[in-house]
Copies of this chain bind each other. A is one copy, B any other.
Amino acid sequence: MTDSLTEPLPGPSPQPLTADMFDPECPNRAMPIRLEAKWAWLIIRCLEGGPRRFSELRVPLARVTPKVLSESLRAMERDGLITRTAYPENPPRVEYALTDLGRSLLGPMDAACEWGRRHLGRLLDAREAYERRRAPGPSEPARPSSPARP
């Protein structure tokens, strides 16, 4: 079971997830939520415009198996980020919707997206340059045994 968002980090954890980790004065303050808990980010985006049914979510998340999607949704429901409403009809209908708490995540998410729009290109450039430094040509065996990298 994916623990979705927070989760005090099972075993070896930087901190046991205390409140002062979010005090700007605390030097060790850490990221509380695994905002990108693999699918949570995308699910929130899918629900941004209103409630969605399970099968509706499966369209943009086609690469997520129903099992994993279901687990993710339940974990998010557990954390109070979304609600699950089942209508006793036939065929059954279930709708997922963002809570206020879940919606409050849109702010930090937008901040991160804004960072991506402005800086991701530079990061990818740096990565490409780094890889090219290690593999100058396709004829190179790559990874000289010891030197390189000042």
Contact = CB atoms under 8 A, between A and B. Distances in A.
A108 B112 contact: yes
Q: How many copies, total?
A: 2
A122 B101 contact: yes
A66 interface: no
Contacts of A79: 123, 126-127, 130
10 contacts: A28-B60, A30-B41, A31-B109, A80-B122, A80-B127, A81-B123, A84-B149, A104-B115, A107-B111, A111-B111
A117 B6 contact: no
A5 interface: yes
Contacts of A46: 27
A110 interface: yes
Contacts of A23: 117
A53 interface: no
Contacts of A29: 45, 113
A52 to B, nearest CB: 12
Interface in A113-150: 113-127, 130-131, 149-150
